[in-house]
Amino acid sequence: MSKIKYEFYSEKDASAVAELMKKNKFWIGKFDQNLTGEKFIDYQRKKGTIFGIVGKKNDKVVSYVAAYKTGGQKVANKNQAFICALIIAQKYRLSVFSISDMFSMLIKELIRMGYNDLICEVAKDNYPSFYMMRKCGFVIIDENPTLYGDYVLHNYFPGVIKMLNQINYTDSTAIPEIIQKLDKKNLYHSEQIIDLRFINMDCKTKKQNYSFYVDTLSGNIAGVHLHDAKFKIWPNNNKLNSYLFENFGNDTRKVNVAFWEDNHVITSETYETDFFHVDIPENVTKITFDVNNDADTYTFFVKEMIQYGLYQFEQKNINFTAFSFEENSGFLSSEQNSNHISLFKEMWPHLCAPYIEGIFIPNYEKNLTVDQLDNKKITVTEHTDDYILIREYKSIGNKIEIHTKAKMLSQMQVQPMFQFALYDLSYNCEITLNDKTIVNRKYDPGDGDCVTEEMIFLNFLQQEYSNKYFKQIDLRFTSVPNVTFRIKSEKLATCFCQLNYLGIEYNKKIFKGKNEIDFGIISIEKIHCSGD
């Protein structure tokens, strides 16, 4: 019997992957039964795919997994990557060692590219995928489901390999062994967070049992306890500027400790005692422990972890009458509801794929310059390799006008994405079209059952009105019944409501073949209704 063979995805596999997805009830195949290879290629280009892997049985695609820089709601930091697509033909889901081959290839590539933390978002009712992920070592950091009803799982195995510098540990025979000790009754329990950043993770192999001390901020391993080998290397405090070694065996061990600055050892010292601790100078990037009679060298990337611990993102806001602008994310926020949740945010647009943005953790690496002209007007400029984007925000009472212009610097295809992230799902839309017809989108609590983390900028629900230009959109929330937000576009545009997103797409004639583009003004007005 032939074995499943794994290789890196290329666009020639797109049609076969699309057919596989249409048979799956959780990912985009659930919503887009007309999915084609061409559409899937467009999805992947927009989503910011890092790489993908396909599994083939007798040259037929039976599985697909991919890593991305963005998930349903968050943009990964530089040491993180998302798995947002893991599709396995039902016939092969119980093939544990075959699946581990796929994970081995995935993790090896992530390690090669410098990632520590692998993240996936899985629906609680997708039990086969959820259990498989947990069995492969994924842990729950936050036990509260996301806005989409998914659980966010983290796998720190790349960080383990980075600490041990043993890429061979990713072999398929090792991955099924190095797993978290998992009890089915604790399947949905989150890990206990220590000092707001660390977790203890107990693992086992055929050779021995481990405890890893994981820094969840960076994905690095901060400490290791080898229970059978009877020694422990652990940070001496939560500042990570001091480390200790403890030997629990009968024989004293010789331990060489080296301090590194980048790739050079700047000092080292050998200890021969059952217990010692070392202080780490400020310029040290990593510290290594070589323990006598142990095959591995244990490397702790202290500078990387310290930097993540010091990183505190402070949002800076510019307040208007009915809105506020977030300087670092580029999001325009509406007022908050009674639960202190922003009703919606107008997200910072991208003009070219890929679209790297999230709701709750946006892309904070955008190169934005904010010029505040007065308390009613600001100009924000973004510089990228492909374009310069300029937005002028002008506040007029309870209305704000957003004038967007761009200058193209490359030959990238212009695919502007203007999005409203709807934090409060209890929204109703009344869409007035240019042909004078009116379409209503009514809030249905059942919509939450079909929410997906799939690409926020894709109209996969394919509503009929999305093929017509709109005149205005009235957006209302049941949590704030006496307020309407009226959205208008100066240029011809279509719209789509996709669960917790509202998307606006322009007539392509506006920007076709142009180096300088004027997208006109989008206005958002807060209107108090009668009875307020």
When pLDDT is averaged across residues 504-518 and rounded to a whole number, the result is 89
Residue 124 has pLDDT above 80, yes or no: no
Q: What is the mean pLDDT of residues 316-328?
A: 90
> What average pLDDT score do residues 474-486 get?
91
Q: Which residues contact 122 (CB under 8 A, 6 or more apart)?
A: 129, 130, 133, 150, 151, 153
The domain 1-186: what is its CATH number?
Answer: 3.40.630.30
Instruction: Please state the rounded mean pLDDT for residues 155-174.
Output: 83
Identify the pLDDT of residue 408.
95
Rounded mean pLDDT, 70-81: 84
Distance CA 196, CA 235 (A): 15
User: For the CA atoms of 49, 53, 59, 62, what is the dihedral angle to 10 degrees?
Assistant: -90
Tens digit of pLDDT for each residue in 81-100? 998 777 888 777 666 556 77
Model pLDDT for residues 210-222, shown as the tens digit of each residue: 899 999 999 999 9
What six digits make up the tokens of 65?
A: 């997994």
Measured distance CA(212)–CA(440) in Å, rounded: 53
The pLDDT value recorded for residue 4 is: 86
Q: Of 70-79, 140-149, 266-275, 470-479, which gets the smallest average pLDDT?
A: 140-149
pLDDT higher at 463 or 329: 329
Measuring CA to CA, which residue among 255, 215, 219, 35 is closest to residue 116? 219
Identify the residue with better confidence: 326 or 512: 326
CA torsion sign, 32 to 37 to 43 to 47? Answer: positive
pLDDT (0 to 100) of residue 446: 66
- Between 93 and 62, residue with greater pLDDT: 62
Query: What is the crossing angle of helices 37-47 and 14-22, to 10°?
Result: 100
Mode of pairing for the β-strands spanning 332-333 and 324-326: antiparallel
Angle (CA) 280 283 287, round 5°: 45
Helix (H) or strand (E) holding 292: none
Q: Is pLDDT above 80 for 470? A: yes
**Residue 370 pLDDT grade (very low, low, confident, very high; cuts 50, 70, 90):** very high
Average pLDDT over residues 299-304: 95
Helix (H) or strand (E) holding 125: none
Report the pLDDT value the prediction gives residue 346, as an integer from 0 to 100. Answer: 95
Q: End-to-end CA distance of the chain, in Å?
A: 71
Contact 221, 200 (CB under 8 A): no
- Residue 129 has φ and ψ, to the nearest 5°, of -70, -40
Q: By percentage, how much of the chain surpasses pLDDT 90?
A: 45
Contact 280, 269 (CB under 8 A): no
Residue closest to 397 by CA, chosen among 523, 228, 263, 268: 523
State pLDDT tens for residues 432-461: 999 999 999 887 766 554 445 455 666 766
Cα separation, 151 vs 143, in Å, equals 7
Helix (H, G, I), strand (E, B) or coil at 190: coil
pLDDT the model gives residue 451: 46
Domain-by-domain residue ranges, the chain?
A: 1-186, 331-363+412-528
Q: What is the DSSP code (8-state) at residue 191? A: P
Select the highest-mean-pLDDT range: 1-10, 47-56, 377-386.
Answer: 377-386
Rg (CA), the chain: 26
Q: What is the DSSP string of 383-445?
A: E-SSEEEEEEEEEETTEEEEEEEEEE-S-PPP--BEEEEESSS-EEEEEEETTS-EEEE---G
Q: Is 452 helix (H, G, I), strand (E, B) or coil?
A: coil
- Length of the chain as a residue count: 532
- Which of 180, 181, 157 is closest to 169 using CA atoms? 157
Is the pLDDT higher at 314 or at 409? 409
Least confident of 264-278, 440-454, 506-520: 440-454
- Mean residue pLDDT of the chain comes to 86
Residue 27 has pLDDT above 80, yes or no: no
The mean-pLDDT minimum among 170-179, 426-435, 489-498 falls in 170-179
Which tops the pLDDT comparison, 331 or 417? 331
pLDDT of res. 230: 93
Q: Distance between CA atoms of 66 and 99, rounded to whole angstroms? A: 14
The pLDDT score that the predictor gives to residue 449 is: 44
For residues 119 and 153, give the distance between their C-alpha atoms in angstroms, rounded to a whole number: 6
Asked if 151 and 122 touch (Cβ cutoff 8 Å), the reply is yes
pLDDT in tens, 323-334: 999 998 999 998
State yes or no: pLDDT of 120 exceeds 60.
yes
Looking at residue 85, its pLDDT comes to 75
């331990």: which residue's tokens? 255
Q: Mean pLDDT check: name the lowest of 8-12, 56-60, 85-89, 468-472.
A: 85-89
Beta carbons of 17 and 64 less than 8 angstroms apart: yes
User: What average pLDDT does the segment 245-269 reach?
Assistant: 94
The residues with which 346 forms a beta bridge, in sequence order, are: 332, 420
Q: In this predicted structure, what is the pLDDT of residue 532?
A: 45
- pLDDT score recorded for residue 450: 46
Distances (CA, A) of 88 to 11, 13, 19: 19, 15, 12
378 pLDDT above the threshold of 80: yes
The rounded distance, in Å, linking the Cα atoms of 469 and 421 is: 21
Query: How much is the pLDDT for 95?
Result: 62
Separation between Cα atoms, residue 415 and residue 350, nearest integer Å: 8
Which tokens sit at 508? 């392509």
DSSP string, 217-273: TT--EEEEEETTTTEEEEESSTT-SEEEEEE-SSS--EEEEEEEETTEEEEEEEEES
Of the spans 149-163, 291-305, 350-364, which averages the highest pLDDT?
A: 291-305
Return the minimum-mean-pLDDT range out of 13-17, 125-129, 269-273: 125-129
- pLDDT at 47 exceeding the cut of 60: yes
How far is 303 from 342, CA to CA, in rounded Å? 36
Task: Decide if pLDDT at 223 tops 50.
Answer: yes
How many CB atoms within 10 Å of residue 417?
A: 21
